[in-house]
Amino acid sequence: AFLRQGYPILADDISAVYFSGHGQPTVAPELGRLKLWAHALAHFDIEAEALDRLRPEIEKYSYPLDDSFVTQPAPLHTVYLLHLHNKRAIDIGPVEGMELFSSLRHSIYRSECLSSASLSAGWFQGLSRLAQSTRVRRIRFPHDLSRLQELIERIEQDFPL
């Protein structure tokens, strides 16, 4: 939906975050693609047959980004945590206090790989720095693709420019 609005794409669902030499949280560009489920392709009138399937057993596809893909790292200012729910409301609000650290910790992909004490200590320090220097927001969104435009507008209003 953001791509259709003309926004460039830096990453899809997994982002590598590191701290620059100035201590700024920074997002590294991902592969130049989006990973889309079949129902999302149908919503956007994209033919699945023209795309590569990510895995044979699931209906998720690789959609190439071409010119819309950002190739340079970018500063990380805000993290949005998307939570689908069965209510009608779209809600965007802060994640604060102990919930902030916990939410960031649960957002780490493959956190089970952090088994050694030295790795865990490094991740703890990194998460603490991230929590102190980045705005974290929770989006509660109904599982309704017809409301994506409304969601984009709400995020545009919420995002500090």
Give bridge partners of residue 157 from the DSSP assignment.
none
- Candidates 136, 73, 141; CA nearest to 105 is 136
Q: Report the C-alpha gap between 157 and 136 in whole angstroms.
A: 15
Q: Report the C-alpha gap between 88 and 65 in whole angstroms.
A: 31
pLDDT grade for 128, boundaries at 50, 70 and 90: confident
Helices (H), the chain: 38-43, 97-106, 117-133, 148-158
Structure confidence at residue 91 (pLDDT): 93
Cβ atoms within 10 Å of 80's Cβ, excluding its own: 14
| 55 pLDDT more than 90 | yes
Q: Report the C-alpha gap between 47 and 144 in whole angstroms.
A: 20
Structure confidence at residue 113 (pLDDT): 47
Structure confidence at residue 161 (pLDDT): 66
Provide CB contacts within 8 A for 97, sequence distance 6+.
Answer: none
| 60 pLDDT more than 70 | yes
Q: Are 12 and 82 in contact (CB under 8 A)?
A: no
Q: pTM of the entire structure?
A: 0.81
| Over residues 133-137, mean pLDDT | 91
